[in-house]
Structure 1
Amino acid sequence: MPAPLSRSSRSSSRPSYSAVPKRKKNVKNRRLSVSVTLFFYTLFVLFIFGLFFLLWFFLTESGTNLRYLMADTLITTQHRHWAKYIIGNDELEKRVHRYWSQFDTYSEVQDQGLVHVDGTSTSTIEKQSKPPIEIEDIQGTNFKGKLLIVHDPTMLRIAVPGKAGKGEKVSDMVQRLDALAGVNAGGFVDPEWKGNGFQPTGLVMSGGQIFYNDGGMNTPTHIVGIDKEGRMVAGKYSPSELLKMGVQEAVTFAPRFIANGVGLIKSKADGWGIAPRTAMAQKADGTVMFAVIDGRQPGHSIGATLYDIQNIFLERGAVTAANLDGGSSSVLVLGNQGNQDAAVSASTNKTTKAVIVNKPSSEYGERYLPTSWLVFKDPKKANIRNIWEGLDPSKIDPSKW
């Protein structure tokens, strides 16, 4: 029988538990040290990356091009003042001034009369067998949108809200006036981008009548319009000149960027930033095209430059093109008569509501606007009345809802 272990023997044979916590503590310390090292290493890498990015962003040609593109994009939004943090306030003012100077220069190009809408050409006769409107998908590297094609330009009218004191959604204008389709048109006074959409900027003409004019009869302003023959008119004209030219429908916006089949914007850098867009063009046979581009929606469409829109129109044979109001206002609406489901609805005596075809950028939905381009089967019967008649433009409160 083995001899019992002595107290000292038993105690010496037991493992030393006091050493275990020390090892755990050392492991924790090493892990903490590694984490701290990784944290500061990451900060250092980010600092170096940020330093090189700033040097590239401000001191290289490619970085400067991106900087100005970002600034131009901000200029077209309600956050225009943010652009000064990218290019400086003085440069911001210079850039805005330069753009308007360019727009004035574009408007000086003499129209050579390349549009023929006399109704006798073979192309015009062929168009009679086509539907009055067509819609195509268009897209580019960073954008998606729709192209509204109107084969007979005399079917177009400028529509305005039905009630004074407040703008109206394009979808409501299309529905109320029983139009085939509609897009947003001219600009408007929009204090802090919260305006009621009732006060236009510049000029509004509909049915050959001046509905609104915030300047003199001999004061030139940038306009986009259609004359009584169906020819698109774009550039800088006075109201008196427009009446003499027989212009029927017109709103104020800029710039004209295609003249006589030639693109006036020479590069993407001069394309006035990336944004949702609405623009209008005409082909030599009179066909009118409206491009409505979605934007400010990552994963769907960021937006397009005017240079992008110019290329889309030129590829389709445009001889004249001009910009319309864009941003959150850009919308394309298909009406009852243009809706593919309209025939089914008519057979069941149900009313089909106007449908928004594109994806507007505003998270609040359609904006309330003072003007829209609408397409009618019989434009002469459209009940469009002058809601600004008798009003003093200087006394309109565009912020009062």
Structure 2
Amino acid sequence: MNSIPPLGGIGVFTPDVWSYITGAPTDGWEVTVKGGIVSGVRHASTSNHFVTREGFLVIGRGAAGELLKDIPTGTPLTLRIQWVDDGFTGLDNILQAGPMLVKGGQKVFDPEGFSPRTLSVPHPRSFVGSDGERLWFVVIDGRDPWHSNGTTIAETAAATQRLGLIDALNLDGGGSSSIWWSGKIVNLPPGGVVRPVPYALVF
């Protein structure tokens, strides 16, 4: 959902996240659905990757794309979301993040499928945690030998313990690690450059 599918996979893109898909693959087929009806089917290499406000866009690659290309225009098509994990049912907001750093005050050494480079190489890091009374949002700068190299995941977990956090979760790091406070960026992003198209936790 709202992410580029792998070869052989299908991705669904909704207007609450996308208006135009950047980095869309050109090796598949796209189906535009407007008002619950298929309004267009085209090869991704000839598409503008536009997501209509009145519907959604489906991209299929490889064998999945071959299934999409023969859907006739005018076919009714609806989007139904079903959570695989019942624990997500009824939640208004869900944060994609990881891995878990500390749980119950103890370090958690579970890679959760993240690459070794993501875990073991120092990077800028962002994390959220709780000390039982307050919620902490922390950014660790990195990739700057004159300022900070960043931390590994193990070092980040150790930092959460030094702060007295009981539970802490790693967020997206690298060039995404920034804090905006009182109208300005208050940390030093890698290279001094802020991401031009950010996503953020806002409160």
Tell me whether 1:301 sits opposite 2:148 in the alignment.
Answer: yes
Cα distance 1:309–1:216, how it changes in 2: closer, same or farther (>3 A)? Answer: same
Match for residue 218 of structure 1?
Answer: 83
Tell me whether 1:361 sits opposite 2:190 in the alignment.
Answer: yes
**Structure 1: gaps of 5 or more residues:** 1-161, 168-188, 192-213, 220-237, 336-353, 376-401
Equivalent-residue separation in structure 2 for 1:290 and 1:309 (angstroms) = 13
Q: Is the 8 A contact 1:261 1:319 kept in 2?
A: yes
Cα distance 1:276–1:374, how it changes in 2: closer, same or farther (>3 A)? Answer: same
Match for residue 136 of structure 1?
Answer: none
Q: Is the 8 A contact 2:144 2:191 kept in 1?
A: no
Q: How does 1:126-137 map to 2 (within 5 A)?
A: none
RMSD: 3.3
Equivalent-residue separation in structure 1 for 2:81 and 2:92 (angstroms) = 19
Tell me whether 1:311 sits opposite 2:158 in the alignment.
Answer: yes
Q: Is the 8 A contact 1:259 1:321 kept in 2?
A: yes
Q: How does 1:379-398 map to 2 (within 5 A)?
A: none
Residue aligned with 1:321, SS: strand
Match for residue 195 of structure 1?
Answer: none
Match for residue 199 of structure 2?
Answer: 371
Equivalent-residue separation in structure 2 for 1:334 and 1:303 (angstroms) = 21
Tell me whether 1:272 sits opposite 2:126 in the alignment.
Answer: no
Q: Deviations over 1:63-87 (max 9, x none)?
A: xxxxxxxxxxxxxxxxxxxxxxxxx
Structure 1 residue 333 displacement after superposition: 0.6
Tell me whether 1:165 sits opposite 2:24 in the alignment.
Answer: no
Q: How does 1:115-154 map to 2 (within 5 A)?
A: none
Q: Is the 8 A contact 2:123 2:149 kept in 1?
A: yes
Query: Which one has a larger percent helix, Structure 1 or Structure 2?
Result: 1
Equivalent-residue separation in structure 1 for 2:126 and 2:194 (angstroms) = 14
Structure 1 residue 370 displacement after superposition: 5.7
Residue aligned with 2:150, SS: coil
Equivalent-residue separation in structure 1 for 2:186 and 2:142 (angstroms) = 14
Equivalent-residue separation in structure 2 for 1:316 and 1:301 (angstroms) = 19
Larger radius of gyration: 1
* TM-score where L is the length of structure 2: 0.53
Cα distance 1:282–1:298, how it changes in 2: closer, same or farther (>3 A)? Answer: same
Higher relative contact order (CA 8 A, sep 6+): 1
Counterpart of 2:82 in structure 1: which amino acid? M
Equivalent-residue separation in structure 2 for 1:304 and 1:334 (angstroms) = 23
Tell me whether 1:323 sits opposite 2:152 in the alignment.
Answer: no
Cα distance 1:362–1:242, how it changes in 2: closer, same or farther (>3 A)? Answer: farther
Residue aligned with 2:155, SS: helix
* TM-score where L is the length of structure 1: 0.28
Structure 1 residue 300 displacement after superposition: 0.9
Equivalent-residue separation in structure 2 for 1:321 and 1:292 (angstroms) = 13
Residue aligned with 1:249, SS: coil
Residue aligned with 1:322, SS: strand
Cα distance 1:217–1:303, how it changes in 2: closer, same or farther (>3 A)? Answer: same
Structure 1 residue 263 displacement after superposition: 0.8
Q: How does 1:44-55 map to 2 (within 5 A)?
A: none
Q: Is the 8 A contact 2:123 2:142 kept in 1?
A: yes
Equivalent-residue separation in structure 2 for 1:252 and 1:215 (angstroms) = 20
Query: Runs ≥4 in structure 1, deviation > 6 angstroms?
Result: none
Equivalent-residue separation in structure 2 for 1:322 and 1:259 (angstroms) = 9
Match for residue 173 of structure 1?
Answer: none
Q: Is the 8 A contact 1:284 1:319 kept in 2?
A: yes
Count of matched residue positions in the alignment of Structure 1 and Structure 2 = 128
Equivalent-residue separation in structure 2 for 1:328 and 1:258 (angstroms) = 23
Q: Is the 8 A contact 1:284 1:317 kept in 2?
A: no
Q: Deviations over 1:118-177 (max 9, x none)?
A: xxxxxxxxxxxxxxxxxxxxxxxxxxxxxxxxxxxxxxxxxxxx995379xxxxxxxxxx
